[in-house]
Amino acid sequence: MSLSLDPEIAEALALMADATAGATAGTARPEVGDIEGRRAFWEPIIGAASNAQPMPADVTMTDHTVTAADGAQITVRWYVKDGATPGSAVVFFHGGGYIFGHIDLFDGPVARYVAASGVPMLSVEYRRAPEFPFPTPLEDAYAALRWLHDRAPELGVDRDRIAVMGDSAGGGVAAALAILTRERGGPKIAHQILIMPMLDDRPTTPDPHIEPYALWSYDDSRTAWPALLGEAAGGPGVPPTAAPARLEDATGLPPAYIEVGQLDVFRDEDLAYAAKLSRAGVPVEFHLHPGAPHEFDSIAFKADVAQRATADRVRVLTSL
């Protein structure tokens, strides 16, 4: 028996196609290397998926400015549930293959995590490739983490209970940041929550079981990694802070929660990364969701598999 799409996800995909038909009219699936085409194709889809869910009324958002390593000013957005007890916090990195997406598009998902868990989050407007290739996105992430550590007392945050979290490319940023902070001796990260993370820049032979259902496709990855890494992508000299799958020694990394869909092009690299962390003695909780493609939780948020995934994430957040 071959792999198949979860029926509830299939139904949601059909509804999403109808809902975004106007926004993406005349926009064909972009060719390999077409950055602007992917921005035009994907951002309306992400926006429609986010807007389909209600925005919590009990979460307050406040923007701040962080100075990055090169002196640039980047925006971070602090989300707090009204009346929540101070304690842990999460630095969140949005998805988008390093080439599209911004914090406004992900206001809904972040606010819903905060409302459900009571844990405040700092969402980071890290700069995108190819305009700002590696290491700029990672250095922006590091600057945001340092900013939260420095201001932890005034924000009611325990420095020992700060986690990092991200989905897709944002999951890759979170994983890379955990490696970077180990190399630099801090700031401390209590947990890494990696949602369908994008981890490996090396060419992948397309899996015929996945290709028919791939929302984020192999061609998307073939476009995104060179945008981030240039000609180095796929070569021998890529560091694990750029592509965490390159990591050889995972000793001392923070505990990890990792999940991916069985129909996600990142499935194999995420399985391998979870095993690598486990072999190094890092506590790992791993979930492989049957019948689920990339970003299944946004597109089919009412599906049972998405509800289970969201409940698991909230459980981990509340345990920080």
| Partners of residue 75 on adjacent β-strands | 65
- Which token pair is 3? 């792999």
Whether residue 265 contacts residue 204, with contact meaning beta carbons closer than 8 Å, is answered with: yes
How far is it, in rounded angstroms, from Cα 197 to Cα 298? Answer: 15
Q: Longest Cα pair distance anywhere in the chain, in angstroms? A: 56
Exactly one of 117, 168, 221, 298 is catalytic; name it: 168
Which residue in 191, 287, 289, 294 is the catalytic one?
Answer: 294
- What whole-number distance in Å separates Cα of residue 175 and Cα of residue 92? 12
Q: Are strands 256-261 and 284-289 parallel, antiparallel or unpaired?
A: parallel
Confirm whether 294 is a catalytic residue: yes
Among residues 39, 159, 22, the alpha carbon closest in space to that of 97 is found at 39
Residue 28, φ and ψ in degrees, nearest 5: -75, 160
Which H or E run includes 130?
Answer: none
Given the residues 264, 270, 287, 289, the one annotated as active site: 264
In terms of Cα–Cα distance, which of 138, 216, 195, 202 is closest to 310?
Answer: 195
Q: How far apart are CA 121 and CA 292, in angstroms?
A: 26
4 belongs to the catalytic site: no
**264 is a catalytic site residue:** yes
Q: How far apart are CA 221 and CA 197, in angstroms?
A: 12
Distance CA 198, CA 207 (A): 16
Instruction: Report how far residue 15's alpha carbon sits from residue 9's, in angstroms, rounded to the nearest whole number.
Output: 10
R_g of the chain computed on alpha carbons: 18
Active site residues: 168, 264, 294
